[in-house]
Amino acid sequence: MEAEDDATGQMIEDEEIYVNGGEDGDESKRHRPIISSEQLDIEAYAALYSGRTKISRLMFIAEKCGNASMQLDALRMAYDEIKKGENTQLFREVVVKIDGRLGPNYGPDGAWADAVDRRAEFRKEKLENELNAYRTNLIKESIRMGYNDFGDFYFAHGQLGDAFKNFVRTRDYCTTSKHIVHMCMNAILVSIEMGQFTHVTSYVSKAEQSQDALDPITIEKLRCAAGLALLEGKKYKLAARKFLETGPELGNNYTEVIAPQDVATYGGLCALASFDRAELKSKVIDSINFRNFLELVPEIRELINDFYTSHYASCLEYLGNLKANLLLDIHLHDHVETLYEQIRNKALIQYTHPFVSVDLHMMANAFNTSIASLEKELEALITNNQIQARIDSHNKILYARHADQRNATFQRVLQTGSEFDREVRAMLLRANLIKHEFNLKASRKH
Amino acid sequence: MLLEDPMRGVAPMLTALQKLQYSSEQLTTLHPDFLLLCLLAKCYKTGLSILEDDIFEVDQPRDFLLYCYYGGMICIGQKKFSKALELLHSVVTAPMSVLNAIAIEAYKKYILVSLIHLGQFSSSFPKYTSSVAQRNLKNFSQPYLELVNSYCTGKISELEAFVQANNEKFESDKNLGLVKQVVSSMYKRNIQRLTQTYLTLSLEDIANTVQLNSAKEAEMHVLQMIQDGEIYATINQKDGMVRFLEDPEQYKTCEMIELIDSSIQRIMMLSRKLTDMDEQLSCDPLYLGKAGRERQRFDFDDFDTVPSKFTV
């Protein structure tokens, strides 16, 4: 298949690549490896998402990417998307950022903004009146619907805090577990947009408690949300496990939050950084579930295979190529450095593990770095006790070193003995002092 | 001392001391004065011989504090840093109800000696330190705690800059000599760390890592450390390489067995002392009175030899 061939070679051409499998036949969407080493195709990237997250991601890309044409593209698309919605606050922000660079069509459209604001006022009043009517009538279902509508309204207008409050208020009026799940999903969506991932975790666990009302798609959505929360909390191992458990039923159903490509990327990278070899093989490489996701991002798949088969140079090369695009991802960008460092350290440790002595020249070739920098990295790992070895700097060889148990035991024994000696003597002295002080006090009393 | 000639007073004091104490484990009022004389006369060795005896009985807390403080200073002079650390630790953690100047000065020296000997300093007090000390000692030794911080960064230049900046403070406490020793101990610490990661290393690299000026200086430092027994290494002058060796101690020699044996004897003696003290305390009427009052009422077929009410 074209995709695999190109993936194993050098991905420099700017062509569109077709990937088989993974989606329903009637979708005419093209599944390109969007997260790839080529420069991010913003249109295709944005097409993966919908709703507010699309706008946030586009604005994030515009902020973080270096080159102006990409920035303008992103801002233009953000502008179009915002105009379809009702968020005047974001609209004003985007206009300021565009700064007239895209021509008169993309200028501050005061008329539109005012119209939207007026409509919003009307709708808000209407909703309030309805809600008050329902409240006086005390019909639970209608009150719940009223609060839900309010929540949606605030969400569409970008007032996330109020939206969250209203969604949470529906809790008291939920009668079936379906209602609870619905409330949880809304709360999770708003919390992710606000970046408050502690709420995400609590609402995910709340939703998972009502097992009967959950259809498979919702289960997958909850897993993704939980995985995202763990990623933000830097718990990479647990996040990887959550992402890997996500089944292919997710499909394109959660585009308001996350795309299947993202599940593959986040899951793959976190797993690589935190799993040991056995777990990596069983949960990632051999997993049929996750294979579907990995097909969407063949570079990540190649990268994981290379790591497992010890082709570290090509693995690290893929990582390097992907870095630029990963830094533009709204959830992953502050974790990229940490994850990369962990993956690199694991590669170094894994390389030296089976050997008694390692020639640093060959190792530097395998990792495609210079000997001096390799030596520095190894020194750091040895000092942190992650590699048990010593470096022969003259001949540039790394020797594995196994602790001499007998000597170590003797040393510890002698040390413990002298510590005990010291402590007990000090204790006896102190006891003596206290006794004398006490005697003094007692003698003064009488 | 009145005659401004401390040297003449040392020998008589020593005899007086030995006649006055009824056991070698007792601290008399003369002890701190004797140590002060030794310090002033700079004959540390005599002072050291007195310090060798362990002290278990103390009459006056003030004597004890002074004794430990002067003792600590003598040990520092003789470079016996572990004993100095012990003595200064006793001063800092001694039970006291009021803060006194001896403890403050001792704490400052304690920080410095800890840095020289152990390479680190933990600013948390052990549980048995008096609350007075815990609350107040840190306030008086701020520059020293900051010295600890810059020591822990591992950068010589920072440390030296800091010492320069606070020169007068250290000088007024008469601790400047110690502080200089701290700085030189930093080099040693860094070189020791290198022995953990490298098998052989060129003198150039050592000089660079430890931030010395040239390979020659690095060679001097390493040589000094080998002579002092702080590291085990061989220098190959032809290639300018240093080969770090493992500790050659195999723990198989007669001396080692004797050492272990004597430690065992000591510890047995100490634990005997502990049990003695415990017995003494259990018979002490004040303790019994307090413990007796707090006892629960047991079943009456539990034969308690101590009645629940006990009047002295």
Nearest CB neighbour to A433, from listed B64, B196, B246: B64
Residues ≥6 apart with Cβ < 8 Å to B180: B163
CB–CB of B270 and A425 under 8 A? yes
Contact of A407 with B249, CB cutoff 8 Å: yes
For chain A, percent of residues with pLDDT exceeding 70? 89
pLDDT at residue A26 in the model: 35
Contact of A289 with A243, CB cutoff 8 Å: no
Contact of B58 with B29, CB cutoff 8 Å: no
Q: Rg of chain A's alpha carbons, rounded to an integer?
A: 30
Contact of B274 with A428, CB cutoff 8 Å: yes
B297 DSSP assignment: P
Residues of A in contact with B94 (CB under 8 A): 430, 433
Q: What is the pLDDT of residues A378-424, one digit of tens each?
A: 888 888 888 888 888 888 888 888 777 888 888 888 888 888 888 88
CB–CB of B199 and A399 under 8 A? yes
* Confidence at B299, pLDDT banded by 50, 70, 90: low
Q: What is the pLDDT of residues A216-260, one digit of tens each?
A: 888 888 888 888 889 888 888 998 888 888 888 777 788 788 888
Q: Which residues of A375-391 are buried (b: 16+ CB within 10 A; e: fewer)?
A: beebbebbeeeebebbb
- Whether residue B158 is predicted with pLDDT greater than 70 in this model: the reply is yes
Contact of B197 with A390, CB cutoff 8 Å: yes
Lowest mean pLDDT: which of A357-366, B1-10, B80-89? B1-10
CB–CB of A393 and B251 under 8 A? no
Residues of A in contact with B59 (CB under 8 A): 436
Give the residue carrying structure tokens 């060796």: B245
Nearest CB neighbour to B251, from listed A407, A428, A433: A407
**In chain B, residues 198-237 whose CB comes closer than 8 Å to chain A:** 198-202, 205
> Once rounded to an integer, what is the mean pLDDT over residues A79-93?
82
Q: How many CA atoms lie within 13 A of B38 on its CB side?
A: 27
* Confidence at A37, pLDDT banded by 50, 70, 90: low
Residues of B in contact with A383 (CB under 8 A): 193, 196-197
- Whether residue A28 is predicted with pLDDT greater than 50 in this model: the reply is no
Lowest mean pLDDT: which of A307-316, B50-59, B85-94, B122-131? B50-59
CB–CB of A383 and B59 under 8 A? no
Distances (CA, A) of A12 to A16, A249, A263, A339: 11, 32, 24, 25
DSSP-derived 3-state class of residue B199:
strand
pLDDT at residue B298 in the model: 54
Q: For residues B295 and A347, which has the higher predicted lDDT (pLDDT)?
A: A347
Structure tokens of A242?
């959550």
Best residue in A371, A409, A420, A433 for a mutation probing chain B (most B CBs within 10 Å): A433
> Once rounded to an integer, what is the mean pLDDT over residues B186-190?
82
CB–CB of A431 and B196 under 8 A? no
Q: For residues A142 and B119, which has the higher predicted lDDT (pLDDT)?
A: A142
Give the residue carrying structure tokens 């992710």: A192
- Whether residue A91 is predicted with pLDDT greater than 60 in this model: the reply is yes
Report the alpha-carbon distance of residue A143 to residue A183 in Å, rounded: 13
Give the distance from CA A38 to its chain's centroid: 22
Q: What is the pLDDT of residues A255-306, one digit of tens each?
A: 788 888 888 888 888 888 888 888 888 888 888 888 888 888 888 888 888 8
**In chain B, residues 40-99 whose CB comes closer than 8 Å to chain A:** 54-61, 64, 86, 89-90, 93-95, 97
Residues ≥6 apart with Cβ < 8 Å to A155: A52, A163, A189, A190
Residues ≥6 apart with Cβ < 8 Å to A340: A319, A323
Q: For residues A259 and B31, which has the higher predicted lDDT (pLDDT)?
A: A259
Lowest mean pLDDT: which of A32-41, B2-11, B181-190? A32-41
Instruction: Decide the pairing of beta strands B198-202 and B241-244.
Output: antiparallel
CB–CB of B201 and A393 under 8 A? yes
Most confident of A8-22, B3-17, B124-138: B124-138
Please tell me the distance in Å from B132's CA to the nearest CA on chain A: 15
pLDDT at residue A21 in the model: 34
Residues of A in contact with B56 (CB under 8 A): 425, 428-429, 432
- Whether residue B302 is predicted with pLDDT greater than 70 in this model: the reply is no
Q: Which residues of A135-159 are buried (b: 16+ CB within 10 A; e: fewer)?
A: eeeeeeebbbbbbbbbbebbbbbbb
Q: What is the pLDDT of residues B105-118, one digit of tens each?
A: 888 888 888 888 88
Structure tokens of A444?
């003064």
> Once rounded to an integer, what is the mean pLDDT over residues B285-293?
75
pLDDT at residue A446 in the model: 44
Nearest CB neighbour to B197, from listed A390, A407, A430: A390
Nearest CB neighbour to A432, from listed B58, B89, B241: B58
Residues of B in contact with A416 (CB under 8 A): none
CB–CB of B193 and A383 under 8 A? yes
Residues ≥6 apart with Cβ < 8 Å to B22: none
pLDDT at residue A33 in the model: 47
Best residue in B81, B110, B198 for a mutation probing chain A (most A CBs within 10 Å): B198
Report the alpha-carbon distance of residue A14 to residue A11 in Å, rounded: 8
Residue-averaged pLDDT of chain A: 80
Best residue in A430, A440, A443, A444 for a mutation probing chain B (most B CBs within 10 Å): A430
Which residue, among B256, B151, B172, has the nearest Cα to A417 in the 3D structure? B256
- Whether residue B56 is predicted with pLDDT greater than 80 in this model: the reply is no
What sign for the dihedral angle of Cα A92, A96, A97, A100? positive
CB–CB of B274 and A410 under 8 A? no
pLDDT at residue A103 in the model: 74
Q: Rg of chain B's alpha carbons, rounded to an integer?
A: 25
Structure tokens of B251?
């723990």
Please tell me the distance in Å from A339's CA to the nearest CA on chain B: 25
- Whether residue A211 is predicted with pLDDT greater than 80 in this model: the reply is no
Distances (CA, A) of A252 to A55, A80, A207, A217, A300: 18, 22, 21, 10, 20
